[in-house]
Amino acid sequence: MTRLLQTLLLAAYLGATAAPAWPGAVIGPVTSGDPKDLAALQQRIGQWIEGYNGADLAKLGEVLSADFSYEQQGLPAQPKDAVMKGYADLFAKYDTRIEVDTRELRVSGDMAFDRGRYSATSTPKAGGAPRVQRGRFLEVWKRVGGVWQTQRFVNIDDPAQ
């Protein structure tokens, strides 16, 4: 796998968070903050996952802030436009599915964070064995104009299978 493709695949896992509206998602027991804010965040998480599993770039990208950045060890920080390009390439080549276990979600004012684990399966549309990538994440959210957006995301991927 080329480094570029690996980068694109890894970028695809950003925002791999939880969504109660999505059958595979699990919200962990550790939460704090206004329940209304937590519910709003979970809806946004659900939107991202629906976008990912539906290969809907607009829906997915709307969750990311304009100044969004994605980081992981061994790669330079990726801005939103680079990440969206990665998604577009990923969705063109693979059928994608992600399962997420969000273990902690906390809110304070207009800031929030969540962290957890994910398992993403990418099945080549041209045929071939699915590729499963698992990992952990920490992400920070901000509320802008009443809407929660992911601002920072750090991925820690497990060794590829």
Q: Mask of contacts with another protein, 12-51, x by CB under 8 A?
A: ----------------------------------------
Cβ atoms of residues 50 and 56 within 8 Å:
yes
Cβ atoms of residues 120 and 37 within 8 Å:
no
Contact flag: residue 154 with another protein (CB under 8 A) = yes
Stretch that binds another protein, among 42-50, 55-63, 91-99, 110-118 (CB under 8 A): 110-118
Q: Could you give the C-alpha distances from 46 to 8, 22, 39, 73, 126, in angstroms and in order?
A: 22, 7, 10, 26, 28
Stretch that binds another protein, among 55-63, 78-86, 119-127, 135-143 (CB under 8 A): 135-143
Helix (H) or strand (E) holding 48: helix 35-53
Residues in contact with another protein, counted by CB under 8 A, come to a total of 22
The sign of the dihedral angle between the CA atoms of 137, 88, 52, 140 is: positive
β-bridge pairing 94-108 and 26-32: parallel
Our CB check for another protein shows the closer of 91 and 114 to be 114
Binding to another protein in span 51-90, by CB under 8 A: 71-74, 77
Which residues of this protein are in contact with another protein, per CB under 8 A?
Answer: 71-74, 77, 106-113, 115, 136, 138, 140, 142, 152, 154, 156-157
